[in-house]
Structure 1
Amino acid sequence: MKIPKDKVRFNVGGRIFETSSTTLANSGRNSFFGALFNENWTLKQPNNDSSSNCEFFIDRSPDCFSVLLDLLRTGDLNIPPDIPERQLYREASFYGLLDHVRSAKWGQFDGNRLRHSRYVKGQAPGDGTAIRAGPDGGCCVAHGSVVHVFDWIMEEHPPLNLDYQRVNDVGWVDSESIIVSTCEKLGRGDGGMGLFSKSTGELRFKFQVCHENQVKSFAAGALSTSSGYKIFSSCKGRSNEYGIGVWDQVTGKQIDFFYESPGWSLGDADKLQWLNGSNCLMVATLFPRKDNCYISMLDFRDKRMVWSWSDFGAPITVDEKRVRDAVAMEDNNAICVVNEFEDLGFMDLRMNGGSVRWSSRSRMMKGKLSEESCCPKLALHEGQLFSSMDDCISVFCGPDWVLTSGLRRSYGGSICDFSIGGDRLFALHSEENVFDVWETPPPPIS
């Protein structure tokens, strides 16, 4: 692609800026500036001006334009203290440069370099259920029967109101769609799961469970998605039938269903996780929701359970060995679990039904205990392991998963849930329903 180096002049709010078409081409075809070029990346002349030095008038903020033009020239984002970030983001949205601003604002995600950037006050203190990071740096937060949706500049969209039906889980299908599961059905003949628009809160479609050509009423629980446009949900029928349903996220049609095996509680699962490499789904039913813990790997290609573990019948004498959360670590052929006394445990996926190897070297940060401590949560992101305990999140790295750093904010009480996505970590606190936003700053300019 040949980009001519013509000089371009802009009159923005009365201030004159000059740049080259090469610099403007860095904005991309879908930006405001991309529209100034034809299909051959030749600059269009305004007002039939045939001169090589053309001028475009834009009735926008010249201060923000200066920052964004510098971003296109250097790739660095330098926001003067007298320009509100929200104003700059709105101007970037006008020019189609939000992705450029996002990539320049955040460095490569690193849990050891995360910095607290802000906290957001919730709408219903003490009622936080779950928080999920969005692919574009925003998040959604479930509070009872309402899901609050925030974009990446932390502006709230219209909330999703489920009419007093308590939300069990939420998840992002893509940057514009949110999947919600509830304890009750969303309407007659439909199950307790729906796909909503992030921007408008509109219910796009409901999900159904069909068996023998009949629509079954069900409650939906834990959710997961795959790169193959599939949505997975644990399901519970009226007669306590349990299973895992599978739907096409584009059409909303049911495409599969996995009924539980005797003795294995699949439908009442607390956590689902899709593993792209092995094409399997991890299903975990955990303490204290159930007296016994069950973790299994399901292969939907031939409808079988390829790996399983349970503490059923194990001689457990102290609660500290009860599994509170689990995360599959596909690259390590392992599943990591955590108990309520800051112990991490590991199970080998190559050994079916093996025991938990509890680690004494990986100790999490000692959190500030609250009157109602929350169950610890686990997450794996870009080769780093994260685990929450009370009011802090610990970061583990390396082949032996050594504790390398910790994140802590005392405001809002214990952390009831956290999520990572869009180069951010979001942590939801239980007592005040506040969530924190952690970001990785860009590396210093050398």
Structure 2
Amino acid sequence: MCTPAAAAGRGRVRLNVGGKVFETTAATLSSAGRDTMLGAMVDASWNAGPAAAAEYFIDRDPACFAVLLDLLRTGALSVPPHVSERALCREALYYGLLDRVRAARLEDGDGFDGDRLRLAASVPGPGRAPGHDGTAVRAAPDGGCCVAHGGALVRVYNWMLEERPPVHLDHAPVNDAAYLDASTLLLAARERPGSGGRRDGHHGNGGLAVFSALTGEIRHRFRVTHDKQPRPFTPGALAFDDRQNSKIFASCKGRLNEYGVGAWDATTGQQTDFFYEPPGCALGDADKLQWLEGTSTLMAATMFPRTDSSFISVLDFRAKDVAWSWSDVGTPASLEDKHAVHAVAMDDGRSVCVVNQYDDLGFLDLRSNAGGVRWRSRSKLLRKTKKAMHAEETCYPKLAAHGGQLFASTDDAVSVFSGPDHALTSTLRGSDGGGAICDFSIGGGRLFALHNEENVFDVWETPPPPII
């Protein structure tokens, strides 16, 4: 409860918070924004009266308020050991400063270090119900996430891991998901059987569309055209260039098994390009796209066991050319077990890491079209348990690169590789009984790992450094 003793002026303001008096300036409180409680207290349009000093009584926790006031003064978040994270978040929510607290944590880099990650939470899902198998988890830029469970819906969580309204897709299976920003979610879903392609604008029949991560409501549906004609393509993998031209990319498969990758302007929603390849090309039905910032190109990978062989291409949209490509077609019989099941371009932009179904890591040189995968037995992951040997195909190993480190999932753990030689330095194993990890994602200073058996996802964080 807040009771003003007098109207706020332009100078100093006294606040009695839970019995402790704080003195600051109206400018400092105004910096919180007029849509916050503290900003509104000193906003002229909300408070009428003489320009005099004021004292406000606020019946809240003074220790947390001291942290939040210091955040407004300095822009930095310094949390003493005696203030709990939960209490600070509760008080920040009361004052309308929750987003400011999270932003301060990420401002100087997310502080993410795979070797220092600690399990912060395990969030249960809908369990093993028909049609609710875990499909994908995607990290939001602010530390929240979304989880696709089969074809029914996509669950959305804020950075405090509180569930927001879900996105309902009317049983259209989700192929991929991506965050354009903390409040905007991009989903690619294939048309559900028997839908016939509805024309009423409803988003339940699949396709590529943007949704509000806050309300679950649809904002925009993307159209796919080629040669100036609408094309009935089904979107698959997604990627987003958020630094150059703010473009959205989606792999597309036509009804006659023609393939391509479309590009759209993220601001206007208009299609800007389409990289089309005829049937039988190396592009294929790509199930992994990744924007390569250093070369302004797009990596498109089609992985085994989705296809009989694996294809990786680097596409140059400006030249409408395949700048680099690799395939394991024609691999000698002695190496048939080396089919790649997932791939990621490394942070240095010089190589692509691949992993096969037996958890071997290999590397491809993007600077050369010659040579194959350099498999490195010393980089093998942990061996699968007997339980994992019977896991569903959705639980093949996955890869991610972040901050110079390489991450790979296998069975119920995520392995961390560090240094120029990619040595195994850490192993993250979370929920007991959750089953094999079917997907994981890194973003907003967190690693999210989705387990297949019970649809539970684990949240890993790097603890903040000690305050001196």
Is the shorter-chain TM-score for this pair beyond 0.5, marking a shared fold?
yes
1:399 equivalenced with 2:416 (yes/no): no
Q: Determine the C-alpha separation between the residues in 1 that align with 2:446 and 2:115.
A: 13
CA shift for structure 1 position 96: 4.0
1:277 equivalenced with 2:294 (yes/no): yes
Task: Find the counterpart in structure 2 of residue 20 from structure 1.
Answer: 24
SS of residue matched to 1:317: helix
Task: Find the counterpart in structure 2 of residue 381 from structure 1.
Answer: 402
1:193 equivalenced with 2:208 (yes/no): yes
Task: Find the counterpart in structure 1 of residue 444 from structure 2.
Answer: 422
1:312-355 Cα distance to aligned partner (Å, 9 max, x none): 11214355311011011251511111112221101111111530
SS of residue matched to 2:340: coil
**Could you tell me which amino acid in structure 2 is paired with residue 161 of structure 1?**
H
Query: Does the aligned pair in 1 maintain the 2:67–2:78 contact within 8 Å?
Result: no
Q: Determine the C-alpha separation between the residues in 2 that align with 1:24 and 1:348.
A: 53
CA shift for structure 1 position 410: 4.4
SS of residue matched to 2:101: helix
Task: Find the counterpart in structure 1 of residue 15 from structure 2.
Answer: 10
1:163 equivalenced with 2:166 (yes/no): no
Query: Does the aligned pair in 1 maintain the 2:26–2:42 contact within 8 Å?
Result: no
Task: Find the counterpart in structure 1 of residue 3 from structure 2.
Answer: none
Structure 2: 5+ residue runs without aligned partners?
1-9
CA shift for structure 1 position 232: 0.7
CA shift for structure 1 position 122: 0.7
1:108 equivalenced with 2:130 (yes/no): no
Q: Determine the C-alpha separation between the residues in 2 that align with 1:352 and 1:257.
A: 25
CA shift for structure 1 position 218: 1.9
Of the structure 1 ranges 253-262 and 197-206, higher mean CA displacement relative to structure 2 is found in 253-262
Task: Find the counterpart in structure 2 of residue 326 from structure 1.
Answer: 343
Q: Determine the C-alpha separation between the residues in 2 that align with 1:337 and 1:22.
A: 56
CA shift for structure 1 position 156: 0.8
Structure 1: 5+ residue runs without aligned partners?
none
1:440 equivalenced with 2:434 (yes/no): no
CA shift for structure 1 position 143: 0.6
Task: Find the counterpart in structure 1 of residue 89 from structure 2.
Answer: 89
Q: Determine the C-alpha separation between the residues in 2 that align with 1:368 and 1:34.
A: 56
Task: Find the counterpart in structure 2 of residue 142 from structure 1.
Answer: 148
Q: Determine the C-alpha separation between the residues in 2 that align with 1:204 and 1:443.
A: 40
1:350 equivalenced with 2:367 (yes/no): yes
Q: Determine the C-alpha separation between the residues in 2 that align with 1:275 and 1:290.
A: 24
Q: Determine the C-alpha separation between the residues in 2 that align with 1:79 and 1:444.
A: 8
Percent identity reads 53
CA shift for structure 1 position 231: 0.8
Which structure 2 residues correspond to residues 168-317 of structure 1 after superposition, within 5 A?
A: 168-184=175-191, 187-188=197-198, 192-227=207-242, 228-260=245-277, 263-317=280-334
Query: Does the aligned pair in 2 maintain the 1:272–1:282 contact within 8 Å?
Result: yes
Q: Determine the C-alpha separation between the residues in 1 that align with 2:227 and 2:240.
A: 25
CA shift for structure 1 position 244: 0.5
1:281-337 Cα distance to aligned partner (Å, 9 max, x none): 000000111111000000000100000000111214355311011011251511111
Query: Does the aligned pair in 1 maintain the 2:137–2:448 contact within 8 Å?
Result: yes
Query: Does the aligned pair in 2 maintain the 1:308–1:353 contact within 8 Å?
Result: no
**Could you tell me which amino acid in structure 2 is paired with residue 209 of structure 1?**
V
1:14-69 Cα distance to aligned partner (Å, 9 max, x none): 53421333994796567654566789xxxx99842534xx3124465556435534
Query: Does the aligned pair in 2 maintain the 1:46–1:56 contact within 8 Å?
Result: no
SS of residue matched to 1:287: coil
Q: Determine the C-alpha separation between the residues in 2 that align with 1:341 and 1:128.
A: 22
Query: Does the aligned pair in 1 maintain the 2:258–2:279 contact within 8 Å?
Result: no
Of the structure 1 ranges 256-265 and 113-122, higher mean CA displacement relative to structure 2 is found in 256-265
Of the structure 1 ranges 421-430 and 261-270, higher mean CA displacement relative to structure 2 is found in 261-270
Aligned length: 434
Q: 2:50 aligns with which of 26, 48, 51?
A: 48
Q: Structure 1 residues 327 and 270, CA, compared in 2 at 3 Å: closer, same or farther?
A: same
1:98 equivalenced with 2:113 (yes/no): no
SS of residue matched to 2:165: coil
TM-score, structure 2 normalization: 0.84
Q: 2:78 aligns with which of 73, 76, 81?
A: 76
Q: Determine the C-alpha separation between the residues in 1 that align with 2:466 and 2:90.
A: 26
TM-score, structure 1 normalization: 0.88
CA shift for structure 1 position 399: 1.0
Query: Does the aligned pair in 1 maintain the 2:259–2:285 contact within 8 Å?
Result: yes
Q: Determine the C-alpha separation between the residues in 1 that align with 2:465 and 2:47.
A: 39
Q: Structure 1 residues 325 and 289, CA, compared in 2 at 3 Å: closer, same or farther?
A: same
Q: Determine the C-alpha separation between the residues in 1 that align with 2:383 and 2:141.
A: 31
Q: Structure 1 residues 241 and 124, CA, compared in 2 at 3 Å: closer, same or farther?
A: farther
